[in-house]
Structure 1
Amino acid sequence: VILERMKMLYELGNKGIKPTVFTYNAVLHACVEAMSDDATENLETFKVALKAFNTLVEDDERLDHVTYGNMLRCSALLPQGSQREAVIATIFDRCCRNGFINSYVIRDLVLVANEELWRDLCQCSEGEIDTKSLPAAWTKCSRKDKEVPVRQRNRRGS
């Protein structure tokens, strides 16, 4: 609701209230934090996240690694299955194509995807994922950040 109001006010001429990638990242993060035990509620929350993500893409806003990581985490709002795996793969592929893969995105991928999927997406058949060994095109826009352990998993991705 707040995001829609910001967009409306911006369109009416208030140039100081234009939603930025930071605004959308906050919405995506709020969706992640809103996860509940109610599958119907989670699906509605995922729709909010997807709408925010698609708006960023359509408005040609500059997405960043936080956007992709948060959207990957939002996929945990979907039930386990092929639809969830397809969403994860699509988000990860877009992130790779845009060069925003870093250890934080990999951490979020490992949190939400089953091991077979994340290994396939990262082209990593065994061991931990070393972001330095990923294709350079995947990481071209990422800051050099310290490595984040990717072994940590939660129950959402299992």
Structure 2
Amino acid sequence: VINAISKSQNEGKAQKALRILRRMDKLYQAGNKEARPNAVTYTAVLNSCAFPAVLDFRTRRKALDTAIFTLEELQSSGYGQPNQVTYGTFIKACANLLHDDDDLRREVIERAFRQCCKAGQVGEMVLTYLRQAAPADLYEELLADSISSHARVSVRDLPEEWRCNVQDEDNWRVKPYGNRTRNGKARGRRKASLPRLNKH
């Protein structure tokens, strides 16, 4: 249902997708195990945020606020952890919802990418959307140790710990690793949170 909403031309589709997620959460908490949300569900909400049907300032800012709220909730929930598609979709949403010269765009993208690195989820999708969304100087700053003057940065150029939990993009619906990396070590808690615009 949320995937269908994300493809619709509904003006408030980001908020509608989030309401469905809220309903799924309540049903699961009430005992309906089939209604359990997961990283795919949260990513679908982010996708609804990334492509607003109306491009006025108010709609875009509400969609951005919903995207930030959704990513942070998944990070702190017991429903799994963001994967590279989640982070990639979030970065894409930032690019679509914030103008190039908006300082908030720089701030949100930088924090999300650093969180993605700590989670070991920097895959080709994240790298591609980062290249498209980040200001040139920020892109160079974030990838300073990996950029070569002779070639475009690829995932293989990145530190192993940045990409150690990436799964095949074609199989991203596979259940995520939760709070542990592939080597079995527990991940630390997030130290930086994304800026909140409004409360839900």
Q: TM-score, normalised by structure 1?
A: 0.84
**How far 1:114 sits from its partner (Å)?**
1.6
Instruction: Select which of 73, 91, 101 maps to 1:72.
Output: 91
- Structure 2, gaps ≥5 residues long: 1-18, 170-200
One-letter amino acid of the counterpart of residue 106, structure 1: L
- For residues 120 and 6 of structure 1, the distance between their equivalents in structure 2, rounded to whole angstroms, comes to 40
Alignment check: 8 A CA contact 1:119 1:125 kept: no
- Structure 1, gaps ≥5 residues long: 146-158
One-letter amino acid of the counterpart of residue 5, structure 1: R
Measured on the aligned residues, the alpha-carbon RMSD in Å equals 1.9
**How far 1:81 sits from its partner (Å)?**
2.3
Q: Give the direction of change, closer, same or farther, for the CA distance of 1:23–1:144 in structure 2 (3 Å limit).
A: closer
Instruction: Select which of 133, 141, 146 maps to 2:165.
Output: 141
Q: Give the direction of change, closer, same or farther, for the CA distance of 1:21–1:110 in structure 2 (3 Å limit).
A: same
Q: TM-score, normalised by structure 2?
A: 0.67
**How far 1:83 sits from its partner (Å)?**
1.6
1:132 aligns with 2:156: yes
Instruction: Select which of 46, 64, 71 maps to 1:28.
Output: 46
Identity %: 29
Structure 1 residues 36-72: Cα deviation after superposition (integer angstroms, max 9, x where no partner): 4311110000111111111101114221000110111
Greater fraction helix: 1
- For residues 17 and 78 of structure 1, the distance between their equivalents in structure 2, rounded to whole angstroms, comes to 33
